Structure formats: C-alpha cells, structure tokens
Amino acid sequence: MKLSPKEGKEGSEVEDNKMKRIILFGAPGSGKGTQADALEQQYGWEKISTGDLVRAEVAAQTPIGREIKPLIEMGQLAPDETVLKILKNRLAQGDLVNGYILDGFPRNLAQAEELTRLAVDSETAIFLKIVNDDVVVGRLTSRLTCSQCGAIYNSVGNPPLKTGQCDLCGGPVRQRADDNEETVRRRINVYREQTQPVIDYYKRLGKLHEVDASGTVEEVSAAIAGAIN
C-alpha cells in the first residue's frame, strides 16, 4: 500500500512535499532489515540496505567489492567514501516516490552529518534498542539470508519453507560469512564505538524515536508504527 500524499494539511507546504526518509539504526541483530522489509510492505517506501548493496559489490567482485571484502568479513565497517558513493548511486536511480528506509546507514557520526548535507528529505530516526548482547548474538548466529534478494530468515524462529531455498525468489539461503559468534561480538563493539554517537546526533536534532526492539517482530513493528505516526 502506498501512502497517499498529504493534502490540505496545516503546516509548511515545503515540509509536506519533502521525501520521507526513515532511518533505522541499532546494534547488529536489532532487527533493522526485518523491520525495513515490513515497512516497505506496509507503506510502499523503498528499502535501501547499504549492507545488501555492499555485499552485492563483493559478490559481483567489482573493484570496490574486492577492496571491502576482507573488511566486512572481519566485522569492520567499509570506508565512509565507499559506502557514500554506493548510497549516492542508489539515491540517484530516480525510483523513489514517497519515501525510503535506510537500513544500516548512517553507521558513524561522519556519515550522519554527510547524510544531512546530502539530501533535505524529512527525516525520522528510529533507534531499535536492545540492552542484552546475548539477544542479538542469538539472533545473528541463527540468522539465514538469501544471497540473491537479501530476504532475512532465522533457523530457529522463521526458517524458509524449503531448507536452503528462498520463499520469495528461490535463491540460495545461507548463513552470512560474518554471522559467527566471534565476528558478531566484534561487530557489536564496532557498533558501540562508532554508531552510538549517531543516537545523540539525532536526539539533538529532535528527530530520534527510541523503540524497544527486544520483543517479537510484530511487537517491534507496532512500536515503530507508533513512532512514525
């Protein structure tokens, strides 16, 4: 379902005409990808997952992909300029109508500031909060991902109907190379050091909504809907 454009509403016309940008951030395993998929279905906004875009470069063995493969396999972030270039290319495709959901971007303060400069879209930043590391470690070590379309499954809670095969596109469903416990713990540390400051950035701008992300997928979706509306 596409959201109808707002009509005849009070307030600034400029604000109403802006593209809606939802920024989802939180620790690895907090459910960004899962919730971005749900929002895409619900509101007709495009999901833009910088992680999926980066992994596609790696899979296609492009020059960029070859450069960043060792980094992401070690749980490190790809360089800011590289991710920005990939993101700008995606935003320039001209298919974004009502809005888009950023899943996994910005990952640090420099990226957040660059995003603010890059586009004047109307932003809502949603922080998917999970306090207990073991919850996200559990989710990620049981996560399965379609390497063709990026669909997200879970071997415990939400397996594909046919083992190893994506329900949506028929592509291969596997564990991501960086979804082992050691790498996941390292990614959580990177998140603490680099992504936490992004929370304060959006708080200062008055755009931050904090959502408890430790519940079921449906509970988290309901909390996000409450924050958006």
Residue nearer to ligand ADP on the CB measure, 28 or 65: 28
CA contacts within 13 A on the Cβ side of 186: 13
Residue nearer to ligand ADP on the CB measure, 44 or 157: 157
Burial of 228 (0-12, 13-18, 19+ CB in 10 A): middle
Q: Which of 20, 21, 32, 55 is catalytic?
A: 32
Span near ligand ADP by CB under 6 A; candidates 15-23, 30-38, 80-88, 170-178 = 30-38
Residue 185 is among the residues annotated as catalytic for this protein: no
Closest CA to 50 of 29, 36, 61, 40: 36
Site for ligand ADP in 120-159 (CB under 6 A): 139-140, 142-143, 152-154, 157-158
Residue with the two structure tokens 């499954």: 153
Task: Please state the closest distance from residue 34 (CB atom) to ligand ADP, in A.
Answer: 3
Residue 32 is among the residues annotated as catalytic for this protein: yes
189 binds, among Mg ion, ligand ADP, none (CB under 5 to 8 A by kind): none
d(CA 92, CA 73): 28
Site for ligand ADP in 200-229 (CB under 6 A): 215-217, 220
Q: Which of 129, 176, 186, 207 is catalytic?
A: 176
Residues that bind ligand ADP (CB under 6 A): 28-34, 139-140, 142-143, 152-154, 157-158, 215-217, 220
